[in-house]
Structure 1
Amino acid sequence: MSKKLLRIAGILFIALVLAACQDSADEEEDHEHDHESEENAEAGDAEMEGFNAHYHTGDTVSLTATTEADEGDGHWHWYVRGGDEGEWEEADGGDGETFESEAVNHQQIKATLYDGDHEVISETEPVTIIIDDHDGDVYEGYFDDEDVEDRDISDWAGEWKSIYPYFEEGALDEVYEHRAEESDDMSFEEYKEYYDTGYATDVDNIEITEDGEFTFHEGDETYSGTYAYDGYEILEYEAGNRGVRFIFELEEGDEKAPQNIQFSDHIIAPQKSSHFHIYWGDDRDELLEEVDHWPTYYPVEWSEEQIIDDLYLH
């Protein structure tokens, strides 16, 4: 082969290599572009597991994305933004279908599943991290009347479990031992008696929908009712602090459904509840006088350890 032909062949080879490199770079650029999360990306049937109603300072957020739409060739990307108005950014802490990071107040998180062509297969709805360390005057019951606002039933919508079974098993004893050590007024035994009266209930679980339907699970018995908001009442306590009862009245339901339900959760304006004390009965005014018996409920997905950690902060 002549030197001229060799030079031409060499030039053609280099050109082919450069073209291949450019195609690879273009593919990489397209990959990066396609994985930028769009603000209005259409969410599919993906779900997120492991999310809590609220976190404490220093807590770790551990999430898992799941979907039935994945046919085996999909890959997950996780995104975060600083509230409703922020821009979505690809997140550190995502590893395939799992995500782990320190809780950041008001940060939103979502996961998107892409196929091999970098097209969206499915996407979770965003979740918002709320850090609530139970401090501040409002939680302690010190607030102004004008700070109290009406709340929608959606603040309590979800599936809830009583913590009375944990109390009966002795699982919460460490909390009361700690409080007795910190108190000059009450012993461990006195705390146990106080909470035995407060938490006592036969209703193990309550399901609440955003339409106001309550379903009570009492042993093997289940009964339901639909309730409408009936305002709030501000109560003055002997200790000098105050509380707010948010009240719902029965519209229709089973015979055993109480006529009146009142929530108290240390919150005085619209905000998703992370636990609540609940009062129910047929006499609205009589219930407002009840201050000794307040069955307490936490989200069903909370573990015993999460409940204990939360009680330490009360």
Structure 2
Amino acid sequence: MKRLLIGLSSLMVLSTYLTACQGTNDEEQVNGIEEGESEVHTDEDHAAEDHSHNGTNDFEAPESIKIEGVADHYHTGDAIELTAVLDEETEYDHWHWYSRESADEEWEVVSGQETDTFTGEATIDGLEIKAVLFDHDHEANVQSAPVVVVIDDHHGHDEESRQIYQGYFEDSQVEDRELSDWEGDWQSVYPYLLSGDLDEVFEHKAEDGDKTADEYKQYYTVGYETDVDRIIIEDNIVTFFENDNEYAGEYESDGYEILTYEAGNRGVRFIFKLVDGSDGMPQYIQFSDHNIFPVDSHHFHLYWGDDREELLEEVTHWPTYYPSELDEDGIVRDMLAH
């Protein structure tokens, strides 16, 4: 009997020892990964990872992405709609967009932008945006060169600028301007009116204006009509493109004139006279762009002819020009902002 009790006691001790060893092995497997095993991440683990991958988000990946859709300029509050286009097809689809307010600041990931398209609102002038595509290991595979959001409200944000744009200013505020303020390649908006692309603009004006959309279209048809569908201004040389013909002339400043309109507001004509050039060029050209002192123009109304004073009387026919690089959407967006 005594031997039986000793045997049972030994068996219990051995069982307790084996159980303790098993518990230790289980704990080691929970707290660590045994040799030869692979660590597995869940989708939640990946989503929680910080995609900066380094402290600056200044990736060394090649720039093999082009960003399409960036406008020449935006107005405050405009929608920004961009698309990242790969130079070559890839199996990866893990996108992130980054932005920074200047080159002196760090890139920051833009929350919620995780596809090849970006949507946002234009609120910061000079904002830089770039797209980065990551591989399956969350390493930057390719990236885009940054694009810059340029905001230009033309008439400014302050009340004084708005008043000037609407034609209310003091004579003392007006300053002479150089022809370089209008330097560039310009297109007439008249073809867009004829094609119906500007109908949205006239409908918008009719919502708060004193004319119907059709009446506005008739009014602007008279104003915009012209055969000069393109103008290039460079180094005081003005070139007209009219019916497949090209004429050029050199112009110099001939001062400005302040005009008062029937509505009570005013405008300024900046005048330039021909000093040398083709026979087909007018003796005088007069610019009106709602600005009254030196500043780069973003669109303008142009009057031309051989009689300086007679041109000043013209208030119903004002061919209008926008940068040639703008398409119909860009022109409509700009017009709707005014």
TM-score (norm 2): 0.61
Task: Quote the offset at 1:141 in angstroms.
Answer: 0.3
Aligned to 1:129: 151
Deviations 1:87-138 (A, max 9, x none): 6544346455532112215352332667876598652452312346899311
- Distance in 2 (CA, whole Å) between partners of 1:229 and 1:44 is 46
Task: Decide whether aligned partners of structure 1 residues 51 and 151 sit closer, same or farther in structure 2, where only a CA change above 3 A counts.
Answer: farther
Contact 1:258 1:280 (8 Å CA) reproduced: yes
Aligned to 2:10: none
How do 1:202-221 residues align onto structure 2 when only pairs under 5 Å count? 202-208=227-233, 211=235, 214-221=238-245
Q: Name the SS of the counterpart of 1:195 in structure 2.
A: helix
- Distance in 1 (CA, whole Å) between partners of 2:284 and 2:85 is 39
Task: Decide whether aligned partners of structure 1 residues 92 and 147 sit closer, same or farther in structure 2, where only a CA change above 3 A counts.
Answer: farther
- Distance in 1 (CA, whole Å) between partners of 2:219 and 2:198 is 13
Deviations 1:167-206 (A, max 9, x none): 44566567279549843xx788875654343212001233
Aligned to 1:236: 259
Task: Decide whether aligned partners of structure 1 residues 87 and 177 sit closer, same or farther in structure 2, where only a CA change above 3 A counts.
Answer: closer
Deviations 1:17-72 (A, max 9, x none): 8xx99xxx9xx77943365359xxxx999665341433364x3111345686x786
Instruction: Identify the match of residue 288 of structure 2 among 251, 255, 264.
Output: 264
Contact 2:76 2:153 (8 Å CA) reproduced: yes
Task: Quote the offset at 1:139 in angstroms.
Answer: 1.8
How do 1:24-173 residues align onto structure 2 when only pairs under 5 Å count? 31-33=52-54, 36=57, 48-55=68-75, 57=77, 59-64=78-83, 78-82=97-101, 89-92=108-111, 94-95=113-114, 97-104=116-123, 106=125, 108-111=127-130, 118=140, 123-131=145-153, 136-149=162-175, 156-169=182-195, 172=198
- Distance in 2 (CA, whole Å) between partners of 1:92 and 1:155 is 40
- Distance in 2 (CA, whole Å) between partners of 1:303 and 1:288 is 30
Task: Please give the root-mean-square deviation of Cα atoms over the aligned residues, in Å.
Answer: 5.3
The amino acid across from 2:167 in the alignment is: G
Task: Quote the offset at 1:277 in angstroms.
Answer: 0.9
Contact 1:259 1:283 (8 Å CA) reproduced: yes
Contact 2:67 2:82 (8 Å CA) reproduced: no
How do 1:272-311 residues align onto structure 2 when only pairs under 5 Å count? 272-282=296-306, 284=308, 286-300=310-324, 301-303=326-328, 307=332, 311=335
- Distance in 1 (CA, whole Å) between partners of 2:243 and 2:233 is 18
The amino acid across from 1:130 in the alignment is: D
Task: Decide whether aligned partners of structure 1 residues 131 and 258 sit closer, same or farther in structure 2, where only a CA change above 3 A counts.
Answer: same
Show structure 2 runs of 5+ residues with no match.
1-19, 41-45
Task: Decide whether aligned partners of structure 1 residues 46 and 167 sit closer, same or farther in structure 2, where only a CA change above 3 A counts.
Answer: closer
Task: Quote the offset at 1:295 in angstroms.
Answer: 0.2
Show structure 1 runs of 5+ residues with no match.
none
The amino acid across from 2:223 in the alignment is: G
- Distance in 2 (CA, whole Å) between partners of 1:231 and 1:74 is 60
Structure number with greater Rg is: 2
- Distance in 2 (CA, whole Å) between partners of 1:128 and 1:273 is 15
Task: Decide whether aligned partners of structure 1 residues 179 and 13 sit closer, same or farther in structure 2, where only a CA change above 3 A counts.
Answer: closer
The amino acid across from 2:69 in the alignment is: E
Task: Decide whether aligned partners of structure 1 residues 273 and 76 sit closer, same or farther in structure 2, where only a CA change above 3 A counts.
Answer: farther
- Distance in 1 (CA, whole Å) between partners of 2:204 and 2:104 is 45
Identity between Structure 1 and Structure 2 (%): 38
Q: Name the SS of the counterpart of 2:118 in structure 1.
A: strand
- Distance in 2 (CA, whole Å) between partners of 1:182 and 1:157 is 33
Task: Decide whether aligned partners of structure 1 residues 287 and 88 sit closer, same or farther in structure 2, where only a CA change above 3 A counts.
Answer: farther
Report which stretch shifted further, 77-86 or 232-241. Answer: 77-86
Q: Name the SS of the counterpart of 1:110 in structure 2.
A: strand
TM-score (norm 1): 0.64
